[in-house]
Structure 1
Amino acid sequence: MILEKVINKIEIQSEYKDFVDTYIDNLLTEFKGKIHSIYMCGSIPKGTATPFKSDADFTIVCEDPKEFDYERLSKIKDKLLQEYPILTKIDTVICSMEDVLSKPNEWGFWVKVICVCVYGHDVGEQISPIRISPEFILDLNTDTKEEVDHIHRLLSTASDHTMQVRYIKGYSKRLLRALYSLVLEDTGVWEDDMVTMKNVILDHCEIDPTLVDDLYACYLDSNVSVEEFLEIADEAYRYFENALRVMAASRASLD
């Protein structure tokens, strides 16, 4: 099966159009000549964003991410968050053209399937159709352990309650996405609606349903204690890691 694009048509709501245009203009002015293309994913380009609850997710593709001054990027985001309080946060990922083209099952998947191009030439068009397979799922999760370990450390050491809530929400979402990736061969599509994602995991994964429900509850309401959340998250990740290990062993036996 071929993975279809999550967002086929950009439908940015009127409340967000000025922000999107302003942010892109700021990026192009501040990093003139360094940006190849800009992408969005999530609720804003889908037209399903909720004011004061939704965040903005951007991806910048460039020749060399090291050329970007991340402090200057943070200042732009902080300024616009004050000007557009309907946003909860602005996330911006930066990757290279080489990353997208040389890692089709990782960065290529992100740009081609998850994101939609809002500026420049869509490099995702250069990526061959992505077929769902155990190899793809394993490649897709190449960096999952590193990402989970990173956010685990951040959450474990965060003393500010606001940051704890943010990390718990992001951590639970990342784990749910990882669990969902395990069942792609059953679904045939990448789902980015969290309710649907949770229900599909329950239908197809041999995992304790209470664990999935608890993880989703933490995503919805991140005011749970750090200790309680980490207990849930660690158990969910152990299931995911074991399932991935079994998948890798099965693939190796066929080689």
Structure 2
Amino acid sequence: MSKPHLPKGLDPQGYLTREGSLERVQSPFRPVVAAARDGLPDVFGTRLHSAYLYGSIPRGTARVGRSDLDLLVALWEEPGDADRAAARALGEALDREFPEIDGAGTLLYSRTRLLSELERHDLGWFVACLCTPLLGEDLAEHLPRYRPDSLLARETNGDLALLLPRWRERIAAADTDEARRPLVRFMSRHLVRTGFTLVMPHWGGWTSDLTEMAEIFGAYHPTHAEQMNTAAVAGYEPTGDPALLRSYVDDLGPWLAGEYARVHGIKAPRPD
């Protein structure tokens, strides 16, 4: 089988490297990153432990006017409804002020959860490898190093079967192209990443580029390569196509969930 020869995101010892850095933030996005860094302490005060960037902006691949600002915030305590509302308000304010971004979102977790044994190979790995420190103590200093193995695959994306019923409900409730477009974007990206992590231990590395992920997946599962390539395109350029969404929950998604469970097992249950 011919496999793509792509950068593998590993250090010389075979551990996954952190993919982003503040140095990679392109100049059009530096003002919004600075505004987020300045605004987060005002929003959360002493409850803020640390904050991180993730996604295309710290990878240096963001597109002006098309990419969103992705933040992860660690609090000293479990976040509540007021914290989530405050984070949404900050994101909306940043989106209004900076036309360079197309939306801003914040993931909120407690420091305890991010460092918990249950999240060691999911949220912990996410912080250590996919998040770029923006404020406060870097939690990666308390986390292990990671290899692209089956345990990491299982704990990051081994819950697709649980998600599909919720996806069907969201699709049924979306009755316009405008409502469906964000679902296409989110579900396309999720499926491509799940397909990639299905084969990640065999390929032996990491990439966050959806096109590369789909290409790598297709080398191992050629019968589903066209579907995954379509999902990768939709992840970057989403439409409101209802037929595409139906194909995700009626065809590609169920097959992928079953194959994932067969190869890597089911993700450990989470309380939420």
Do these two structures clear the TM 0.5 threshold for a shared fold by scoring above it? Answer: yes
**TM-superposed deviation, 1:91:** 1.6
Deviation track 1:23-58 (CA, whole Å, cap 9, x = no partner) reads 222221021011111111122112221111111111
SS of residue in 2 equivalent to 1:208: helix
Could you tell me which residue of structure 2 aligns to residue 190 of structure 1?
206
Q: Distance in 2 between matches of 1:225 and 1:59?
A: 30
2:141 counterpart of 1:125:
yes
Q: Which of 27, 40, 56 is matched with 1:14 structurally?
A: 27
SS of residue in 1 equivalent to 2:73: strand
**TM-superposed deviation, 1:142:** 4.4
**TM-superposed deviation, 1:201:** 0.9
**TM-superposed deviation, 1:16:** 1.3
Q: Distance in 2 between matches of 1:199 and 1:28?
A: 41
SS of residue in 2 equivalent to 1:3: coil
Q: Which of 103, 106, 112 is matched with 1:92 structurally?
A: 106
Could you tell me which residue of structure 2 aligns to residue 34 of structure 1?
47
Q: Distance in 2 between matches of 1:190 and 1:238?
A: 24
Q: Which of 254, 261, 264 is matched with 1:238 structurally?
A: 254
CA spacing shift, 1:61–1:221, aligned 2, 3 Å = same
Pairwise mapping of residues 70-109 of structure 1 onto structure 2 (< 5 A)? 70-102=84-116, 103-109=119-125
SS of residue in 1 equivalent to 2:23: coil
Q: Which of 58, 62, 65 is matched with 2:78 structurally?
A: 65
CA spacing shift, 1:248–1:81, aligned 2, 3 Å = closer
Q: Distance in 2 between matches of 1:190 and 1:153?
A: 32
**Gapped regions of structure 1 (runs ≥ 5):** 250-255
CA spacing shift, 1:237–1:199, aligned 2, 3 Å = same
**TM-superposed deviation, 1:166:** 1.1
Could you tell me which residue of structure 2 aligns to residue 215 of structure 1?
231
SS of residue in 1 equivalent to 2:146: coil
% identical aligned pairs: 19
Deviation track 1:91-131 (CA, whole Å, cap 9, x = no partner) reads 21111222221221011111001111111111012111113
Could you tell me which residue of structure 1 aligns to residue 57 of structure 2?
44
Contact 1:54 1:87 in 2 (8 A): yes
Could you tell me which residue of structure 1 aligns to residue 216 of structure 2?
200
CA spacing shift, 1:126–1:144, aligned 2, 3 Å = farther
**TM-superposed deviation, 1:233:** 4.5
Higher deviation after alignment, 46-55 or 64-73: 64-73
TM-score, scaled to structure 2: 0.83
TM-score, scaled to structure 1: 0.88
Contact 1:138 1:248 in 2 (8 A): yes
CA spacing shift, 1:204–1:9, aligned 2, 3 Å = farther
Q: Distance in 2 between matches of 1:147 and 1:36?
A: 30
**TM-superposed deviation, 1:148:** 4.5
Higher deviation after alignment, 101-110 or 129-138: 129-138
Q: Distance in 2 between matches of 1:246 and 1:27?
A: 42
